[in-house]
Structure 1
Amino acid sequence: MLSKRIIPCLDVDRGRVVKGINFVNLIDAGDPVEVAKIYNKSLADEIVFLDITATHEGRDTIVDVVRKTAKEIFIPLTVGGGIKTLDDFKKILRAGADKVAVNSGAIRRPELINEAANRFGNQCVVVAIDAKRNEEHNSWDVYINGGRINTDIDAIWWAKEVCRRGAGEILLTSMDKDGTKSGYDIELTKKISEIVDVPVIASGGAGNMEHFKDVLTFGKADAALAASLFHFKEIEIIELKKYLDSNEIPVRL
């Protein structure tokens, strides 16, 4: 069985790592390059770097920060935020990223997924899905622009569609759970993990070690992502991995 991955996420706003609750009320958590260097030494399997206001502000991802970060780490780096074109993919990959995450840009022009997969390979293309429960229809809607706009697209359908178009991985964030520390959305994660044939990274809601165990087992996720828990040292990644290993979940130690 493949090892399950533990992935810290650096949400970056104007060059600083930030963290909020339900995508708002952001607080500062440090310099992205320095934070990434710490995770590089702490047994993190990968790092996800999201420029969370790039799309909303209509600007490009901070390429120079990506370049500085990539020089300092030796684990895979995924970068997203403001990705709209193949040229954006190229710039981020040239800056040293291993994978590029696209969300709003893929919703607005789904062909971008096909084009990027054909040009750079499926393994480089991560589609980020920000999903929020629709109580009326007992489903989940896809949101874009950093969680500001409801597309009314069904998240389950969209997950299948992005895989059909060539996505190599899905970064699935539960907006209902984001920053709440109440646990991952197991139901949503399981539904999507079961219908796609690419790895699913679960995001949103981690509050303790058991939450990671649950999403990697019951939720069938291939990886679990968290931010504030790691940024503010509430959980050390090495201790988390020892806990998962003791629960017979394969991890890289």
Structure 2
Amino acid sequence: MIKTFKRLAAVVSLSLILTIIIVPCAVFFASAQTTSGTYSVLSTTESTITRVTKTYTDDRELSNKQDSSTTEKAKSFDDAKEVAKKTAQVIEKAEKEAKTKLPAATVSTGGKYLLDIANPDANYVSYSISLTATDRDILQRLVMGEAGGEGFIGCCLVAQAIRDTMISDGYKSVEHVRTSMGYQASLYNTPNQDAIDAVNFIFDQGGAAVQHSIIYFYAPALCTSGFHESQEFVVAHNSHRFFDRW
């Protein structure tokens, strides 16, 4: 009986000892697992915050670069517009000054030429040119389209420009002059008497509107032309300005 009691007491004592040792260890292990999990969650959260912050920073930097690029492009566009505006103003001013310094032209009172100009060329010689029926038809229509409403003198100036160009540049036909020199007038115009008479006077009779070679002309009311204004100005008549080649 006494032996049995001693054995039971020994078992109980061993159980108590094991309980004292195991329970704290289990609690410590559980606590360690919880702490490790907490650290893991905190680490993951910090990593996410870092990535979000970096993405936001990168987006801001990209946005700032794009804004800067847009601003520079807008500034460049504004600068280009300002340069174009100033250039147009310079051209307009030059053309106005040129128009205020036009050589005087008056209707001739008995001379060989239709208009007396301030800068006649003493060496200028006008020639007659024989026309084929096709060339005559094209020429009359072309003169009509360019100056049909500007009277006989206006038509003669245009006809002289075509005739002088044929002679100076060696063109063999009116059609070649028309296509090569960029004449824009329609050939569907029926020529009036002024156009017909002008062709006869300039080409058949070898007459001239002015004592000076004429190669180019344009209408300032319809367009501006730095090229024409860079050439030797001869005369202005009605809506056209006429030039010789420098």
Q: Same-fold call, TM > 0.5? A: no
> Which TM class, normalised by the smaller chain length?
under 0.3
TM-score when normalising by structure 2:
0.21
Instruction: Pick the structure with greater CA Rg.
Output: 2
Point out the structure with the larger helix share: 2
- Larger strand share, 1 or 2: 1
**Taking structure 1 as the reference length, what is the TM-score of the superposition?**
0.21
